[in-house]
Chains A and B, each alone.
Chain A
Amino acid sequence: MELNDGNLQTLTEYLRKTLNPDPTVRRPAEKFLESVEGNQNYPLLLLTLLEKSQDNVIRVCAAVTFKNYIKRNWRIVEDEPNKISDADRTAIKANIINLMLSSPEQIQKQLSDAISIIGREDFPQKWPDLLTEMVTRFRSGDFHIINGVLRTAHSLFKRYRHEFKSNELWTEIKLVLDTFALPLTELFKATIDLCQTHANDVSALKVLFSSLTLISKLFYSLNFQDLPEFFEDNMETWMTNFHGLLTLDNKLLQTDDEEEAGLLELLKSQICDNAALYAQKYDEEFQPYLPRFVTAIWGLLVSTGQEVKYDLLVSNAIQFLASVCERPHYKHLFEDQNTLTSICEKVIVPNMEFRSADEEAFEDNSEEYIRRDLEGSDIDTRRRAACDLVRGLCKFFEGPVTAIFSGYVNSMLTEYAKNPGQNWKHKDAAIYLVTSLASKAQTQKHGITQANELVNLTEFFVNHILPDLKSSNVNEFPVLKADAIKYVMIFRSQLPKEQLLQAVPLLITHLQAESTVEHTYAAHALERLFTMRGPNNATLITSAEMAPFTEQLLTNLFKALSLPGSAENEYIMKAIMRSFSLLQEAIVPYIPSLIGQLTHKLLLVSKNPSKPHFNHYLFESLCLSVRITCKANPATVSSFEEALFPVFTEILQNDVQEFLPYVFQVMSLLLEIHSNSIPASYMALFPHLLQPILWERTGNIPPLVRLLQAYLEKGGAAIATSAADKIPGLLGVFQKLIASKANDHQGFYLLNSIIENMPPESITQYRRQIFILLFQRLQNSKTTKFIKSFLVFVNLYCAKYGAIALQEIFDSIQTKMFGMVLEKIIIPEVQKVSGAVEKKICAVGIIKILTECPAMMDTEYTKLWTPLLQALIGLFELPEDDSIPDDEHFIDIEDAPGYQTAFSQLAFAGRKEHDPIGDAVGNPKILLAQSLHKLSTACPGRVPSMLSTSLNADALKFLQGYLQAANVQLV
């Protein structure tokens, strides 16, 4: 591509087309540009256009296109072709600084970004003169140019704030410091002087202050990794000037905007960060300056207003004080009673006030308000910063600070009492202050767990919280109501039980409040109270104690779901779930009406699932309804099926992916309740459950396996007779699962159920193939997890079909296979099997091999007899071997059986542990003794001789113990 007018013209046309809203015009133009961008001179054409085009739109468009081009192509990736010719690279680097500096701001920004992308790759080695070129512009005196340079420098250097120390990085920083630090310092001083010269020229000041902000940001980046020698030597200059700027005010720079931070605020905020950086990392060197900064920042806080635009500055400034006041060697700066009082009065209290912005959020943006207030996403807010400062001060001055605030709390409450309608915000602040003063440690699960002993929480509750909760009009002063509810909730572990019981019916009443925040808080508080544990780990509040309120509670919770804004309120749904779980059989009378409401809700949300937590708790509530009702009367299961199946069918038909795992779990729960038969409605669904597409989604696998297990348990015989053609499909699922390291244990769950529940003849023809698949996997990728599951399966097979059947099928696949599996897998690995049921299965299987398999007695397998017995005794007596080979450590945690966060497991759909051996074998050790006895009587003399020749002494001792306990002797 030549650099000529023709090409410039073409490019201009295509650029213009890329702005066309019509995709049939825009897309081909974009494609064209992409197709030519590999040509030499393409970037230079763009640069020419952005500099010289007559059309401003084209200039900006060329700039953006250029930046994106650089972003995509500048990096040279190893083994891939260089996408920009060296000549173009050199030309770009030679011109871009000048171009950037002489362009209008809109274009300047794009070019500045491009420079930092290039710089990230090329600086310093391949762009050695970049910095010097930039630094020389400092002397230009033109602050439009200077700010361009500073902005570019900032985007180049800001990565120093988060990258790890490395020699490469530090070499670069050193180079930057050598070239940049001194000119930057000179510029800083000169800019400050100019601010004085132009103190009355607002437009000049604006430019100068944005320079100062950028300079302060650069200071932060350059000082982040370590304190550079240059800045240590020049600390006086920088800190004195920073201090001066912190205390400076200029009417001309004040903005009218209430929301957006002005230049002064941005600058001071950055200076607070710089001071905090030095205080944290370079304390030894910064110590002489620190007290001055404390005073200045404190002064700043006292004089800064309530507007939102000051929020960042104020919260940065308070956080600075909070971090300093905790340090023992600065304690003295805060010690004086007047200082403390003044900080409490002028810094903390004003920043705890409920502002109009908070009020707006409370009313119009309740979700955001709740997230901030309840879930702690308030990190950068003033209230939060003030709270942290209270906590910091309490470290050394808990007594005095508590005393000072007690006075404030009282006076604020008095103000409120005088005229609640006018002064309700005073009470809000008082409650907030008490909360922040009293809470020393907090968790979601328990609320406040450690409180300031100097604050009497119960007294405050009785005198100031309870009256609000009791007020007859739930819709009056909703903020104070929400405060009162929150107080109960977070101090629940600190308040006596009788107070909590007193609060419960009041909270139930507040579920009816119109305010979303208020009824949400009420639901949340109830939910939290219901999870509290009393002595003996029972719930603190019992179902009996709730009896008088049960109906009201359930009614109000479901009514609250119909309040505006709360149709899918997760807090309410969680409270429903928790209430069911607490009340247990007390809910049974209400279920017929509630189940209708729940299924109706389910139908609605399944159209467009958008609140995952809400949906989850909805399904949990359904499970609870089923469990609790059917526990009392299993026959009611059919009425649930009647209510739920129509909705479930819709969900399955519409393939609502988010809900399928839930549906499978609820169906499993329902099916498991049936006594040993399988209703036709389930059988009709069976073929659909084997569809490969369902098994492609990992979240479906655990619940589907469980559902198939339930089918097999209840209807193994029915499947064998009426759906025998589906058996290959079922085994196909097993084969798919077994092939995956992540899901193989699920495959074994399925296989074990097949072996256990299907009539033997129905699977005879598939057995050999099943084992071949297992052996192939064992050969190709043997993992500890697979071996553990394999051992359980092999022994279950043995327990079910007998040892001879096992030996014969193994040896029919390959000669001496049985011996190899015993020697290489069972004997060395059985110690790794975990779980009581799994161990029992292995024990029974091995006992059968030892005592019911003739091949073990008269072939070359005989040599494995004692080692196998020894392994079995080891399984009984030794601790589980939880070692894992080194090369398996990388396997993800998700691969471990039992760890199932990947799918949405329902806590209340839980399945009882299944024991296929069951009561048939009470104590496997006794079974071993008895079986050995039987064997020894069949072939007298052989067993004792095998034992005495090679069983080790410890094992023998244990074995004798078993024989004694079983009261048998070997002959």
Chain B
Amino acid sequence: MIKAILIFNNHGKPRLIRFYQYFTEDMQQQIIRETFHLVSKRDDNVCNFLEGGSLIGGSDYKLIYRHYATLYFVFCVDSSESELGILDLIQVFVETLDKCFENVCELDLIFHMDKVHYILQEVVMGGMVLETNMNEIVAQVEVQNRLEKSEVLNCLFCHVNSSPINREATKPAVPDQHRLRPL
């Protein structure tokens, strides 16, 4: 089981949090801080597994993370998950983000947290791995986006309205080093 998925940047600012077990908001923030503290002091060339988040889990739980450009993707998992498998899953997730956002960078996650959630929902559900095939994930996300678009269009036909969830038409140019280029 996956207990939590946290995405935060190099300064510990959360970009997406997804707990599969209930914690109060305060506790969630503490966990983010602790996890950031643990993860950020590690070099990039050390292993991606980490034991001993004191707040979340216990001895059975591990933090498995990857660091891309400015973002940390941290999964807190128990011993039923394969460590290398989860690493692959993070990679799949990031590659999917890259496909859905076209060269994803931190800004995409900042402004479209909801969309990132929707993508994540196609990868992990209730703490269990739902799908690992990137094409399948992308396909499902796109179908749902089309569905949303058609609804927005309908809405526009009915009464003049602008979509609240319209993606910005122009995306600012992203400096290369900020792109979360999957490895």
State whether these chains interact. no
